[in-house]
Amino acid sequence: MLRALLLAPPGAGKGTQGERLADIYEVPHLSTGELLRAEIADRSPLGLEVEQYLDSGELVPDELLAPLLLQRAEGPEPLSGFVLDGFPRTPAQAHLAHEWGVETGLTFNAVISLEVPAEELIERLVRRGGETSRSDDTIETIRLRQQIYAESTEPLLEYYRERGILIAVDGTGTVDQVTDRITSRLDELDLN
Ligand code: ADP
- Tell me how crowded residue 134 is: count the other CB atoms within 10 A of its CB: 14
Q: Which atom of ligand 1 is nearest to the CA of 9?
A: 2
Is pLDDT above 90 for 16? yes
> Edge to edge, what strands does the sheet with 110-115 contain?
29-31, 82-85, 3-7, 110-115, 166-170
Give residue 33 CA to ligand 1 midpoint distance, Å: 5
Nearest CA to ligand 1 atom 19: 33
- Mean pLDDT over 112-122 rounds to 95
Nearest CA to ligand 1 atom 23: 87
Is pLDDT above 90 for 74? no
Contact call for residues 110 and 191 (beta carbons, < 8 A): yes
Ligand 1 contacts (CB < 6 A) are 10, 32-33, 36, 53-54, 57-60, 65, 86-87, 89, 93, 136, 145
**Confidence band for 7, pLDDT divided at 50, 70 and 90:** very high
pLDDT on residue 86: 96
Start-to-end CA span in the chain (Å): 6
**Confidence band for 181, pLDDT divided at 50, 70 and 90:** very high
CA angle at 65 for the pair 136 and 137, rounded to the nearest 5°: 5
pLDDT on residue 182: 98
pLDDT on residue 46: 97
Q: Which atom of ligand 1 is nearest to the CA of 58?
A: 16
Residue range 30-57, pLDDT digits in tens: 999 999 999 999 999 999 999 999 999 9
Give residue 80 CA to ligand 1 midpoint distance, Å: 23
Is pLDDT above 80 for 78? no
- Mean pLDDT over 136-157 rounds to 94
Quick one: which H or E segment has residue 7?
Answer: strand 3-7
Give residue 85 CA to ligand 1 midpoint distance, Å: 9
The mean pLDDT of the chain is 94
Is the pTM higher than 0.85? yes
Q: Which atom of ligand 1 is nearest to the CA of 87?
A: 23
**Confidence band for 191, pLDDT divided at 50, 70 and 90:** confident
Residue range 92-107, pLDDT digits in tens: 999 999 999 999 999 9
Give residue 160 CA to ligand 1 midpoint distance, Å: 20
Give residue 118 CA to ligand 1 midpoint distance, Å: 18
- Mean pLDDT over 156-176 rounds to 97
